[in-house]
Amino acid sequence: MTRKFFGTDGIRGRTNEPPMTAEIAQRVGQAAGAHFLRGDHRHRVVIGKDTRLSGYMMETAMISGFTSVGMDVVMVGPVPTPAVALLTRSMRADLGVMISASHNPYVDNGIKLFGPDGYKLSDEDELEIEKLLEQPPLLVAAAAIGRSKKIEDARGRYIHFAKSTFPEELRLDGLKVVVDCANGAAYEVAPSALWELGADVVSMGVSPNGTNINDRCGSTAPEALQARVVEEGAHIGIALDGDADRLIVVDEQGRIVDGDQLMAMIAANWAERGQLRGGGLVATVMSNLGLERYLKGKGLGLFRTQVGDRYVLEAMRSRGCNVGGEQSGHIILSDYSTTGDGLVAALQILACLVEGRAPASELLHRFDPLPQLLKNVRFGGGAPLETAGVKSAIASAEQRLQGTGRLVIRKSGTEPLIRVMAEGEDEALVEEVVDSICEAVSAA
């Protein structure tokens, strides 16, 4: 069955345009609710959101959908995506929902669904929900309609959990940390957790107004954080995205440290402590060859998956690995969480910094990455990757890179984009092959 609504990370799009309309959100609530009505207990769904303006509309519509099929709703307000996963499990809910478009601008929104175990839904569950979306809703009798309520301690619960993942024998006293919360879901919880652990916290992106989420701030726009870290003389900077399931780090010199370097540090540290499982870590096809070579030098493996943190997690579970993630900063530490968690990953990095007693610039840059270039080409419709011109350009690029690099071409699962990535020993060659494929896609 072809997916109509779900992409690589839930459902996402521009608000008030399909599939991000109130009507479809209500239908998703009805379909997902009906799918998870199992047994004769009182059913419950946890709904969280980030800070974008359309969250109110989407939340209200989904509450209408869930209650109409007999589910009670617990609203937890603006919290990180991993908090929804955590609360779904801890509150014994049947389903969790995060209303967020992650790192996208405020005009977009999305719906991420979690099962009762706190994990993102399987392909099979999503396909079943898609089938139900095409059918009339399974409305319950008036007496069985669900209720909704809001709980006020959700953020406190998550802060307590995040702090519990930090080594209890360590403190952040004397460490100056700049944290950029992207005017998003972690605008309260991240600064609070860091401060309570002893850090001297400088906060940025903590004044959400509904439209400034990810606006020149956060993990996808770290320039302001880089400048602030240097200006403040801070030891480290942490940038989260809109729903706080990813992070990018800035060292004390203002240099960016991406997810590959962070995973290398955590994996090496855990391996030394005997905590690393599975013989290595799981990452996607986008992770740099430098990471693979670094891990190999330590007797560890890099197990690659297709792009998407859900696929990383599936591979982690099947291989028995407890560290995985993406170059973009989605880092999954399955000892603590069922999904990517920017704050928890940041706390592991800070623990390494405290233990290492060396500057972030020394500890965080574990390998020299190979030249890598990623460009996005927007397309209007059709299947540009199936055209003869694009196929020919890709074949030529692969031949030119043979033995010295690699090529990854994929269609975005959340936007109408073709993502073209190449890496190799020769930076000029990498740029040439990426440009040649982008030109072919644009002409398709």
Distance CA 54, CA 29 (A): 16
In SS3 terms, 98-120 reads as EECCCCCCCCEEEEEEECCCCCE
Cβ(111)–Cβ(58) below 8 Å: yes
Cβ(259)–Cβ(328) below 8 Å: yes
The one catalytic residue among 54, 68, 100, 102: 102
Active site residue 102: yes
Distance CA 7, CA 195 (A): 37
Task: List the one residue out of 410, 388, 383, 409 whose CA is nearest residue 398.
Answer: 409
Q: CA separation (Å) from 79 to 51, 155, 246?
A: 9, 7, 14
Task: List the one residue out of 441, 413, 439, 435 whose CA is nearest residue 422.
Answer: 435
Distance CA 86, CA 90 (A): 6
Instruction: For residue 264, give the amino acid letter.
Output: A
Instruction: For residue 215, give the amino acid letter.
Output: D
Cβ(384)–Cβ(441) below 8 Å: yes
For 122, which DSSP code? Answer: P
Active centre residues (catalytic): 102
